[in-house]
Chains A and B, each alone.
Chain A
């Protein structure tokens, strides 16, 4: 039975979706726009206090860890695209595999991030104070990277849950695409966090 039949012949009268995008994909885009405002608000606030504070700390001695984290996250975006492509081609096993690889890369990123946090905490950095300069640095750093880490952690859980449901036949390729949009957004935010929070605070 076609969609028009189930709608009693009224399907032609229904309004077309905005921008020819399915409702769940549109909902994800609206979430991404709203979340962009959240991250931008945090980064602008960070920029404001950094600009207005003379003794801003530059505690990062090496870029190795953040470079590896960036590589992992950008690579996970590519593996997510492979999962979406396999889903569109109807290759369920391949799509499931790529989804799990993406989730594993996300988990690895989160572990490296937590390890970096532990290192900074060991050096005496907290939300309110640090050995290098203004105490605002810890609050700004942990807020921004923590919000991003929260998104990564949520994304990893979502990737695994969607992959399992997709494998079980409850979700389809469109759901992979919607999850993929979220994952690419998490990657996109990191592209701004790295230069502003890490590279501009590198000690020379």
Chain B
């Protein structure tokens, strides 16, 4: 009986997270049609994508149940993702001639 109830609550949690993820995805589509600049749009959409991914990692992939594995995955992945960001200033250099110096024109 207690096991059946636990199973029911776990299924309920999955459905709640699923609805949240769909709602956040819908919000991204709304932002796509909003009247804001491209960098603002990029920032907001990326933030929402990170929230969606965090929900999926914690509840769909069950990282919330294993904190040791959670930290292992997060530290490893975040380090790799951050290391990849070093090249962005160069994309502005390609576009504008020098990194950040003409950013206001952009």
Contact = CB atoms under 8 A, between A and B. Distances in A.
Interface of A: 18-21, 29, 32-33, 36-37, 40-41, 44, 47-49, 51-54, 63, 67, 70-71, 74-75, 77-78, 81-82, 85, 89, 181, 184-185, 187-188, 191-192, 194-196, 199-200, 202, 204
Contacts of B72: 18-19, 29
A74 B21 contact: yes
Interface of B: 7, 10-11, 14-15, 18, 21-22, 25, 28-29, 31-33, 38, 41-42, 45-46, 48-49, 52-53, 56-57, 60-61, 66, 68-69, 72-73, 76-77, 80-81, 84-85, 87-88, 90-92, 94-95
Contacts of A51: 88, 91-92, 95
Contacts of A41: 84
Given A19-B68, A74-B22, A192-B53, A44 B84 contact: yes
Given A40-B80, A51-B88, A195 B18 contact: no
A115 to B, nearest CB: 20
Contacts of A19: 66, 68-69, 72
Contacts, number: 121
B42 A200 contact: yes
B61 A202 contact: no
A21 B69 contact: yes
Contact of A195 (B7, B48, B92, B94): B48
A55 to B, nearest CB: 11
A70 B24 CA distance: 11
**Interface of chain A, helix or strand or loop or mixed?**
helix
Given A21-B69, A192-B53, A200-B42, A78 B88 contact: no
B46 A188 contact: no
A63 B61 contact: no
A191 B41 CA distance: 15
Contacts of A29: 69, 72-73
